Amino acid sequence: MENRPLLRSTLAIYTVLFIGFLYAPFVVLGILSFQSGPEGGPQFPIIEWSTYWYRHIFGLTPPSRVAPLPIGEALVRSMTLAFATMVTSTVLGTMTAQAFRRRFKGSGFVFYLVVLGMIVPGVLVGLGIALVANTLGIPRAWWGTAFVAHVLYTFPFAFLVMLAIFNRFDKTVEEAAWSLGVPPMRTFRKVTFPLIFPGVLSSMLFAFTLSYDEFPRTLFAAGADLTLPLAIYGTFAVEIHPNIFAFGVLTTLFSFSLLAVYGFLMALSVRSAKKVAIQEEIA
Amino acid sequence: MAYDLELIGVGKVYDNGTVAVRDFDLQVEKGEFISFVGPSGCGKTTTLRMIAGFESITSGEVRIRGRRINDLPAEQRPTSTIFQNYALFPHMTVRQNIEYGLSVKGLSKADRRQKAAGIMEKLELLDVADRRHDVLSGGQRQRIALARGLAVEPDILLLDEPLGSLDANLRKSIQNELKLLQRNLGITFIFVTHAQSEALVLSDRVIVMNRGEVEQISPPYELYTRPKTRFVAQFIGRNTNIPGTLKGRDGDIAGVETGYGALRGFLNDSTLSDGDDVIAVVPSEAIDVYPLTASRDELIAQYQGNVVEGLVRTADVVGHTVFYVIELSDGREVNIESHIEKYRDAFETGAERVYVTWLPNEATVIGKG
Ligand SMILES: Nc1ncnc2c1ncn2[C@@H]1O[C@H](COP(=O)(O)OP(=O)(O)O)[C@@H](O)[C@H]1O
Ligand SMILES: [Mg+2]
């Protein structure tokens, strides 16, 4: 048993490194976002600590040679797109997973077809969609072609999450409802859905975050009006100022608050989830 | 008057080709307690699920009170099902579980309350009505499941091994409750179990299944005393099955030529004729044991020829019960479990060699099939 302390310290170091690499860039960005402005650049040392670039984002600073970030509309677009994608993919994913609870002819084939959506290189998907749209004469738009691309991309994730949830689901609970005279649709809404809700939440989180910062598929599919990641990328082409970093900090905080909401809702439904587990033990 | 439940040539073939049930015929009167018994995989659950509407019916017809229900979805059938794992709704309290079926039926809130309270009182659940059921014991949860199923007033209650996950003591007490409840309500119960003792205690009639087919449908007592097939003779009770050929018949009593000589038993299967291979099924309860010191001629007269010599292998007394294992001349073992009074003579002499005897009418002759 000599190797166990070794293994443990190795794992510990690995974990620390992992977290370090994960958060180091963010910490650096975070620090640099407090650079003084407008003359301070995106590098060390910090000339003077200030919240200039945060105010700059919201247009609270006097006009200067640094143009405001062209992201206001892009942010709204990306939020809208992510929300629509989240709803669509989660509904589709849940329905498809529900269909997969019974093996049907060709279910294996369809499964791989669906999962392919998350494996095919994103740039190709985006390009493909753009080409198809052009051929058919459909104008490209973030709310049209890009939306399709995002759903194609996030739907398999939602589907897999829901499939895992249904795998653990005790079907007799539904049968019990039917046998009490509850029609299948109502059973789904009143019995099945509350029990799979943690999975639905996870699907929603996946779909939203994947869509929100999707880049390669959106690049060709979005058309003239840019989504947030495209807009940010566009600013790189000019000159980088710490306002980008400030914005990065803000979106990260937004992501954390999403996670917090997710955690809160999860905690609310975890009580019923626990009960499902208990029922399964008996089964 | 129509039967409460009728199965006419019902069969089930699963999508993967498994033939789970074959040609099942059954008529059930209102208020009967019917049990399905049989080894695991014999098709009990499948049959129950076809009646409930959870599985499609491949062939034949199921009728409830004269109405064909093959194509009726589960929620429209006048049945409710009790599952082994209870299948309670995890996100509802005890009361909500019980009231849920009623709310779907469109009862007002007050009516629901009242009705649920009535059934909860019957099943002694009022104290826990507003609890979440995951904190309750297995017995309580099974009663909640029963209350929930009965609250919607089904014509027929279907129970799939409902006592399977309870411990032995609890099983016994819930068994009794179940029987009383069924008597009081007068509802038809179809009860699936792999524990034959449960079925024999509870039921008006027991259906023994094997490999998807019905072997016998009889009142419990008859399963013991008059098995119809070899499978039933082996599956139910503790019988000694002696092979032989049919020879001669005198009313209900037939002669059987066996390795132990000519024996006699009850026969009412008219398809059998002299020379057919048969089995004499001798229930353990029918057997009397005598020491060799008894007069063989007298025994032969008394038991009309059914006297076979054997060697006592073991004789264990547990309380008032004696367990005998007696080996016959060809090595066949006879297992007997009975009240010690019955064997006092043989037992007290410490006899090693004994006569094994039984009255012809208490043995049953069946085809070898
Ligand atoms: N959904 C199913 N698909 C295919 N075969 C099944 C299915 N359910 C049960 N079977 C098969 O049908 C037969 C009868 O099963 P079942 O009715 O569950 O038996 P029992 O309840 O008597 O143990 C078994 O051979 C079982 O493997
Ligand atoms: Mg079963």
Q: Which percentage of chain B shows pLDDT scores above 90?
A: 62
Q: Are residues A246 and A199 in the same domain?
A: no
What is the pTM (predicted TM-score) of this model?
Answer: 0.84
pLDDT band at B346 (very low <50, low <70, confident <90, very high): low
- Provide the CATH number for the domain around residue B26: 3.40.50.300
State the best of B50, B75, B107, B144 to mutate against chain A, taking most chain A CBs within 10 Å.
B75
- Model confidence pLDDT, tens digit, residues A40-88: 777 778 888 888 888 888 888 888 777 777 788 899 999 999 999 999 9
B12 CB neighbour count, 10 Å cutoff: 22
| pLDDT for position A85 | 97
Q: Are residues B221 and B260 in the same domain?
A: no
Q: Are residues A104 and A222 in the same domain?
A: yes
| pLDDT for position B348 | 62
Q: Are residues B199 and B340 in the same domain?
A: no
In a domain, B162, yes or no: yes
Q: Which atom of ligand 1 is nearest to the CA of B40?
A: 23
In the listed set B167, B196, B225, which residue is the last one of a domain according to the structure? B225
Give residues whose Cβ lies within 5 Å of ion ligand 2. B 45
Round the CA-based radius of gyration of chain A to a whole number and report it: 24
Q: Is the pLDDT of residue B324 over 90?
A: no
Q: Are residues B354 and B214 in the same domain?
A: no
Contacts of B90 in chain A (CB under 8 A): 173, 195, 272, 275-276, 278-279
Confidence check on the interface: ipTM exceeds 0.90, yes or no: no
**Average pLDDT value over all residues in chain B:** 90
Q: Are residues B80 and B151 in the same domain?
A: yes
In the listed set B195, B225, B255, which residue is the last one of a domain according to the structure? B225
Q: Are residues A192 and A94 in the same domain?
A: yes
In a domain, B233, yes or no: no
Q: What share of chain B is helix, strand, coil (3-state, %, to 5)?
A: 30, 35, 35
Q: Are residues A119 and A190 in the same domain?
A: yes
Whose structure tokens read 């008529």? B27
Which residues are near ligand 1 (CB < 6 Å)?
B 14, 16, 18, 20, 38, 40-46
Q: Are residues A130 and A163 in the same domain?
A: yes
Q: Are residues B196 and B117 in the same domain?
A: yes
Over range B269-277, report the average pLDDT. Answer: 90
In a domain, B112, yes or no: yes
Number of domains chain A contains: 2
Residue nearest to atom 26 of ligand 1 (CA): B41
Ligand closest to B42 (CA) is 1
**Ligand 2 centre distance from Cα of residue B26 (Å):** 19
Which domain range does residue B310 map to?
239-367
* Token digits of residue B249: 């018949």
Q: Are residues A151 and A36 in the same domain?
A: no
| pLDDT for position A105 | 86
Whose structure tokens read 């909401």? A261
In a domain, B114, yes or no: yes
Residue nearest to atom 2 of ligand 1 (CA): B14
Q: Are residues A231 and A249 in the same domain?
A: no
Over range B271-296, report the average pLDDT. Answer: 90
Q: Which helix (H) or strand (E) holds A262?
A: helix A242-282
| pLDDT for position A280 | 42
Question: How near does any CA of chain B get to the CA of A181, in Å?
Answer: 4
With a cut of 50, list the residues of chain A below it in pLDDT: 276-283
- Model confidence pLDDT, tens digit, residues B16-42: 999 999 999 999 999 999 999 999 999
Over range B78-88, report the average pLDDT. Answer: 93
* Token digits of residue B369: 């099939």
| pLDDT for position B238 | 87
Residues ≥6 apart with Cβ < 8 Å to B21: B10, B11, B12, B43, B46, B47, B50, B212, B213
In this complex, the residue of B75, B76, B85 whose CB is nearest that of residue A279 is: B85
Which domain range does residue A44 map to?
1-66+241-283
SS3 state of residue B298: helix
User: Number of C-alpha atoms within 13 angstroms, CB side, residue A215?
Assistant: 6
- Model confidence pLDDT, tens digit, residues B125-183: 888 888 887 778 888 898 999 999 999 999 999 999 988 878 888 888 888 888 988 99
In a domain, B268, yes or no: yes
Question: What CA–CA distance (Å, rounded) separates B217 from B25?
Answer: 10
Write out the DSSP string of B53-96.
TSS---EEEEEETTEE-TTS-GGGSSEEEE-TT----TTSBHHH
- Model confidence pLDDT, tens digit, residues B84-139: 999 999 888 999 999 999 988 888 889 999 999 999 988 888 888 888 877 788 88
Q: Are residues B20 and B124 in the same domain?
A: yes
Q: Are residues A129 and A225 in the same domain?
A: yes
Number of domains chain B contains: 2
Ligand closest to B49 (CA) is 1
Question: What CA–CA distance (Å, rounded) separates A160 from A166?
Answer: 10
Tell me A194's DSSP state: H
Whose structure tokens read 């919240």? A51
B34: β partners: B190, B205
Q: Are residues B326 and B303 in the same domain?
A: yes
CB A110 within 8 A of CB A159: no
Q: Are residues B297 and B335 in the same domain?
A: yes
Question: What CA–CA distance (Å, rounded) separates B342 from B340?
Answer: 5
In this complex, the residue of B83, B105, B145 whose CB is nearest that of residue A181 is: B105
- Provide the CATH number for the domain around residue B282: 2.40.50.100
Question: What CA–CA distance (Å, rounded) separates A27 from A45?
Answer: 15
Q: Are residues A97 and A56 in the same domain?
A: no
| pLDDT for position A281 | 41
Give the dihedral of Cα atoms B65, B71, B74, B75; nearest 10 deg.
-80
Round the CA-based radius of gyration of chain B to a whole number and report it: 25
Q: Are residues A246 and A140 in the same domain?
A: no
In this complex, the residue of A194, A278, A283 whose CB is nearest that of residue B134 is: A278
B229 CB neighbour count, 10 Å cutoff: 19
Q: Are residues A110 and A199 in the same domain?
A: yes
CB B239 within 8 A of CB B281: yes
Contacts of B80 in chain A (CB under 8 A): 179-180
Nearest 5°: CA angle at A178, between B59 and A196?
120
In a domain, B232, yes or no: no
- CB spacing of B53 vs A178 below 8 angstroms: yes
| pLDDT for position B347 | 63
Residues ≥6 apart with Cβ < 8 Å to A49: A34, A36
Q: Which atom of ligand 1 is nearest to the CA of B21?
A: 14
Q: Are residues B123 and B244 in the same domain?
A: no
Contacts of A173 in chain B (CB under 8 A): 87-90
In a domain, B231, yes or no: no
Q: Are residues B94 and B144 in the same domain?
A: yes
Tell me B346's DSSP state: H
Q: Are residues A214 and A251 in the same domain?
A: no
Residue A95: name the closest of A179, A175, A193, A190 by CA: A193
Phi, psi of A34 (to 5 degrees): -100, 15
Question: How near does any CA of chain A get to the CA of B87, in Å?
Answer: 5
